[in-house]
Structure 1
Amino acid sequence: MQAEPLTLFCLPCAGASATMYLRWKARLPGWIDVQPVELPGRGTRLAEPCVEDFERLASRLCDELRGHGRLESYALFGHSMGALLAYGMTQRLRAAGAPLPRALLASGSPAPARRDTQGLPGKHDDAALIADLRRQDGTPEEVFANPELLRITLDTLGADYRVCESFGYRESAPLNIPVHVLAGRGDAIEPACMAAWRQETDVAFSLDWFDGGHFFIRQQERQVLSALERILSGQRVEVPDAAPVAT
């Protein structure tokens, strides 16, 4: 039986652009229409100023989503900061009575109620930002070797960290849509902070673990895309209580 067509809007991590999801267009089945979301201040929207406030950015993205015209059947996916934005968008769409996504898929991000912004690098400290890029191991070496490209990356990353710092969690009723979480076994995020996404839904929840660090979605792309296809096609997903121990 052919799966129902679905639009998958994908929100990037801090410092990144929509290009991080371009490969997925050719690697996911045709019934999943991958739509990478470009944020202001990068990629095709480089001429626009970055939005550095979480509430304003999430609201703006909701306005743009409602104008997209593909909301009959869609899901939201985000990695790291993108997961937080996807959550904020879903909350705003619910408050506005707009069509909700079929599912919220959060990758590499602690649950909104368990976020700790105290550990973010300094807003204007290049050395701390570079160290963070190195630690997360998701930035090509060519970026560090190119002063102009590195400057753009650091400016964008700094703006995105200010977005994350401005987020304030407000307890609300659980969402009535499934929440599916993807996590890296080698990521620095505590397993309990990933499992806490469970409280954000009163229907289906799943938590999948993958080998790799914060950018496991690149390191284990084939397995991640296979999991996304399985989740979006409505197949049951097992929920482990904690991160498996890597062997």
Structure 2
Amino acid sequence: MHELVDRFLAETDFTPPFVLFGHSLGALTAFEVVRELAVQGRPLPERLIVSAYAAPHLPRTASNLHALPDASLARAIDERYGAIPQHVMADPELLALLLPAFRADFTLLETYRYRPGSPLTVPLEVFGGDRDAVSLEKLELWREHTTSDFRLHRFAGGHFYFRENPRALIEVLGAVLGV
């Protein structure tokens, strides 16, 4: 994760105003990007929006999906997250094209180690689905990672709640961003 963040920041020039939004692994990545921006004394986002990911300091359950053989990895991702459309699961060539990206994502996720640090000074918005495995309590604990405003937003749905009702997400984003 830290190598990814370093490479990303070396290639990215953030010009205020900006907001960062990350969903699932993207939430963790966005959090680490903002932490590193602060360490480097670079401009910070107007707010950080994280979605469908438990507070980063919480212990993670041991999982080694990234080490599974391809077929087992695809099945596990589909069973846990419903993230792979059935037409992709049924097409071995298409699935073979996507599995390296999935494996890289799960390698990042499963090898991440939280490093304690100062809380962020940016407002933090936390989004989550009411039927996601990421509980309300685990989302609420993001509060510890900011000294600024904190708001928790729950949506009807699972891990990919925005697929079930995109309008609800758009409305909340509009309100949060003042547009």
Q: TM-score, normalised by structure 2?
A: 0.92
TM-fit CA distance, 1:154: 1.9
Matched residue pairs, number?
Answer: 178
Q: CA RMSD in A?
A: 1.6
CA distance in 1, matches of 2:138, 2:97: 31
Deviations 1:118-165 (A, max 9, x none): 135252333144222233123222211211111122221111111112
Select the structure that is richer in helix: 2
**2:108 corresponds to 1:142:** no
For residues 115 and 143 of structure 1, what CA distance do their matches in structure 2 show? 33
- 4+ residue segments displaced more than 4 Å: none
1:103-122 alignment runs, 5 A limit: 103-122=47-66
For residues 92 and 179 of structure 1, do their structure 2 counterparts lie closer, same or farther at Cα, with a shift above 3 Å needed? same
Aligned residue number for residue 39 of structure 1: none
Give the letter aligned to residue 99 of structure 2: L
1:190 maps to 135
Q: Is 2:102 the partner of 1:157?
A: yes
Residue 130 of structure 1 contacts residue 154 of structure 1 at CA under 8 Å; is this kept in 2?
Answer: no
C-alpha separation in 2, matches of 1:62 and 1:120: 28
Which secondary structure state, in structure 1, belongs to the residue aligned with residue 53 of structure 2?
A: coil
Q: Is the 8 A contact 1:121 1:129 kept in 2?
A: no
Q: Is the 8 A contact 1:77 1:86 kept in 2?
A: yes
Output the amino acid matched with 2:140.
A
Equivalent position of 2:35 in the other structure? 91
Q: What are structure 1's unaligned runs of at least 5 residues?
A: 1-53, 235-247
Letter of the structure 2 residue corresponding to residue 78 of structure 1: G
Aligned match of 1:78: 22
SS of equivalent residue, structure 1 residue 94: helix
Structure 2 CA distance, aligned partners of 1:135 and 1:174? 31
In the alignment, which residue of structure 1 is the partner of 2:9? 62
Task: Provide the identity percentage.
Answer: 33
Distance in 2 of aligned mates of 1:230 and 1:120:
38
What is the letter of the counterpart of residue 196 of structure 1?
L
Alignment-derived partner of residue 176 in structure 2: 231
Matched ranges for 1:35-46 at <5 A: none
Kindly provide the amino acid, as one letter, of the partner of residue 55 in structure 1: H
Structure 2 unaligned blocks of 5 or more: none
Query: Structure 1 residues 120 and 193 mapped into 2: Cα distance closer, same or farther (>3 Å)?
Result: farther
Within 2, Cα distance between the matches of 1:187 and 1:195? 14
